[in-house]
Amino acid sequence: MTLKTPPPLNTIFRFTVIGLVIAILATAFAYVGGWLDPGRLTPDRMINTLEDNAGVHEGYRRNHAKGYCVVGRFESNGNAASLSRASVFEAGQQSPLIGRFAIPGGNPNANDGMPPIRSFALQFQLSNDEQWRTAMNAMPVFPVSTPQAFWELLKASRPDSKSGKPDAAKMSAFFADHPETKPFLAWAKTAQRSSSFVNVDYNSLDAFRFIDAAGTTHFVRWGLVPEAPFTAMTDAQKQDPDFLSKDLRERLEQGPQRWHLIVTVANPGDPTNDATLVWPEDRRQIDAGVVTIESAQAQADGPCRDINYDPLVLPDGIAGSDDPLLSARSAAYSESYNRRTREEAESATPSTQEPQS
């Protein structure tokens, strides 16, 4: 091949073409990365809003910051094996658990009596390299059904710098704009705060899919039902900002604590993309086995500290649903995890700069 005849277009035009190609690629990259799109709800913005509300507490989770590590095991009775081929559900299968009890909010020094909700996160270690992670709340429904609405709720509930309380007018404006919050508000009005982490029901809230051995999908939600009977928070407990951890330690000294893993199966047509709606009472429920918690550790050096309870870390046989909260949780938890692990790496004594309860 020889050099061609003189250029049909002048050299300046050719340089312009090259420049344009590069500029278009760089701009597209910046756009996809969100830099040219300030309106987009990114994980970064979600976590910044959580930090606006609670402050930055280095090394801690940006939500559910105050919590305790626990360990135990799950023993499957085989009842869920017909719905999901996940090995965790095989009859007699034992899976080690690393869990975490917590209260919602970004403040690691919060008062246990304040929030009406307790949370329980679990990591099931399966026999191969797979894991099942789930982060459950003690409530029947979630207040909102979309990440955007959750973000707006966070902004509306930002505490006032003087009173330390959210602006009531902003809150009621938010609830008025979001009728989907009604089931949650109705529950919150009458819900009693529990005296313990170990005597409440926890709920996945989001729907998931179980995939059986034949490849058939079943929409489900799961939850934990405790063996310990519910009792309400006492007035004496109310005075102690750390009563939940003390209670947990006392109960575990008496013996392991147990829950039944209850799987609720949707009927065709039940909402799977909306965590604000309960499914009707008569839906099939399966007791899949027993979760036993044996001991607790402080989160500063406990085994749950460096776990991100991303609800989409799932084994074969369990998958996410069309619930838009799931993707948002996965993205936001990862950003929270990135920030807190970076802070941990940067500080010589991880997660212990603040008083640890």
Partner 1 sequence: MNSRTATFSVPARLLHWSMAIMVMSMLFIGIGMVATVSERHVWLVQLHKPLGIAILALVIVRLLVRWRHGTPALPADLPPWQRAAAHLSHWVLYALMLAMPLIGWTMLSAGGYPVTLYSGITLPDLVSPSATLYSALRFAHTWLALSLFAVILIHLTAALYHGLIRRDGVLASMTKGQKHP
Question: Which partner in ligand HEM, partner 1, none is near 205 (CB below 5 to 8 A by kind)?
Answer: ligand HEM
> 262: which strand partners?
223, 287
In this structure, what is the dihedral angle of CA atoms 303, 313, 202, 333, given to the nearest 10 degrees? 70
In the region spanning residues 279 to 338, those forming contacts with partner 1, defined by CB under 8 A, are 305-308, 310, 312-313, 316, 319-320, 322, 324, 326-328, 330-332, 334-335, 337-338
The single-letter code of the amino acid at 1 is M
How many C-beta atoms lie closer than 10 Å to residue 103's C-beta? 23
Instruction: Return the active site residues.
Output: 64
178 binds ligand HEM (CB under 6 A): no
Residue 232 φ/ψ, nearest 5 degrees: -85, 155
x/- letters, 169..208, toward partner 1 (CB under 8 A): ----------------------------------------
17 neighbors 11 (Cβ within 8 angstroms): no
CA 307 distance to own-chain centroid: 12
Looking up tokens 């002048």 gives: 10
Helices (H) and strands (E) in the chain, counts: 8, 10
The single-letter code of the amino acid at 60 is Y
14 binds partner 1 (CB under 8 A): yes
Task: Choose one: 83-91, 132-140, 235-243, 253-261; the region binding ligand HEM (CB under 6 A).
Answer: 132-140
Question: Which partner in partner 1, ligand HEM, none is near 61 (CB below 5 to 8 A by kind)?
Answer: ligand HEM
In the region spanning residues 266 to 285, those forming contacts with partner 1, defined by CB under 8 A, are none
Q: In a 3-state reduction of DSSP, which class is residue 252?
A: helix
* Residue of the chain from 41, 53, 54, 63 that contacts ligand HEM (CB under 6 A): 63
The residue count for binding ligand HEM (CB under 6 A) is: 33
Closer by beta carbon to partner 1, 178 or else 305: 305
185 neighbors 116 (Cβ within 8 angstroms): no
> 134: which strand partners?
122
27 binds partner 1 (CB under 8 A): no
- Phi/psi region, residue 331 (left: phi>0; alpha: psi -120 to 50; beta: rest), is alpha
Type and span of the H or E element at 220: strand 217-226
In the region spanning residues 272 to 331, those forming contacts with ligand HEM, defined by CB under 6 A, are 275, 308-309, 325, 328-329
x/- letters, 186..225, toward ligand HEM (CB under 6 A): ------------------xxx-------------------
40 binds partner 1 (CB under 8 A): yes
Q: Binding site for heme, residues?
A: 333
* 136/211 Cα distance (integer angstroms): 21
In the region spanning residues 239 to 278, those forming contacts with ligand HEM, defined by CB under 6 A, are 275
Looking up tokens 């989160």 gives: 299
226 binds partner 1 (CB under 8 A): no
* 281/259 Cα distance (integer angstroms): 20
246 binds partner 1 (CB under 8 A): no
Closer by beta carbon to ligand HEM, 85 or else 324: 324
336 binds ligand HEM (CB under 6 A): yes
Question: Which partner in ligand HEM, partner 1, none is near 64 (CB below 5 to 8 A by kind)?
Answer: ligand HEM
- H helix runs in the chain, sequence order: 11-32, 43-54, 147-156, 168-177, 182-190, 235-238, 243-254, 324-346
Q: In a 3-state reduction of DSSP, which class is residue 137?
A: strand
* 174/226 Cα distance (integer angstroms): 34
- Residue 310 Cβ, how far from ligand HEM at the closest point, in Å? 8
Q: Which residues bind partner 1 (CB under 8 A)?
A: 1-4, 7, 11, 14-15, 17-18, 21-22, 25-26, 28-29, 32-34, 40-44, 46, 128-131, 147, 211, 305-308, 310, 312-313, 316, 319-320, 322, 324, 326-328, 330-332, 334-335, 337-338, 341-342, 344-345, 350
